[in-house]
Amino acid sequence: MRENPVFIDGPVGQLEALYLDLAEARGMALICHPNPVQGGTMLNKVVSTLQRTARDAGLITLRFNYRGVGASVGSSDMAQGEVDDAEAVAQWLRDKHPDLPITLFGFSFGGFVAATLGGRLEAKGETLKHLFMVAPAVMRISDQSLLPQNCPLTLIQPENDEVVAPQAVYDWSSALSRPHELLKVAECGHFFHGKLTDLKNLVLPRILN
Q: Please write the tens of the pLDDT for every residue from 76-109.
A: 999 899 999 999 999 999 999 999 999 999 999 9
Mean pLDDT of the chain: 97
Beta strands at 153-158 and 27-32: parallel, antiparallel or unpaired: unpaired
Domain harbouring 136, CATH code: 3.40.50.1820
Number of domains in the chain: 1
Residue 5 covered by a domain: no
Residue 4 covered by a domain: no
Residue 67 covered by a domain: yes
The band of 119, judged by pLDDT with boundaries at 50, 70 and 90, is: very high
Provide the terminal-to-terminal Cα distance of the chain, rounded to the nearest Å.
23
Within 13 Å of residue 94, how many CA atoms lie on the same side as its CB?
Answer: 15
Residue 13 covered by a domain: no
Residue 194 covered by a domain: yes
Residue 10 covered by a domain: no
Q: Mind listing the pLDDT tens digit for each residue in 57-79?
A: 999 999 999 999 999 999 999 98
Residue 174 covered by a domain: yes
Please state at what angle helix 80-96 crosses helix 109-123, rounded to 10 degrees: 60
- Please state the pTM of the whole predicted model: 0.98
String of DSSP letters for 1-55: ---EEEEEEETTEEEEEEEE--TT-SEEEEEE-S-GGGT--TT-HHHHHHHHHHH
Q: Are 47 and 107 in contact (CB under 8 A)?
A: yes
Residue 2 covered by a domain: no
Q: Which domain holds residue 93?
A: 20-208
